[in-house]
Amino acid sequence: MNLNTAIQKLKEKGYKHTRQRERMLEIFVNQDQYIAAKEVLKMIQEDFPSVSFDTVYRNLYLLTDEDLLEATELHGEKHFRLACTSNGHHHHFICTFCGKTKAVEFCPMQTMDDKLEGYQIENHKFEIYGACPQCQ
Binding site, by residue number, is 89, 95, 98, 124, 132, 135
Confirm if 44 and 20 have CB atoms less than 8 A apart: yes
R_g over Cα of the chain? 17
CA distance 73 to 63: 16
- The number of C-alpha atoms within 13 Å of 119 and in the hemisphere containing its C-beta is 10
CA distance 52 to 108: 40
Annotated binding site for Fe cation: 89, 124
Three-class DSSP category at 71: strand
Annotated binding site for Zn(2+): 95, 98, 132, 135
CA distance 82 to 91: 14
In angstroms, what CA-CA distances link 117 with 89, 108, 122?
A: 22, 16, 14
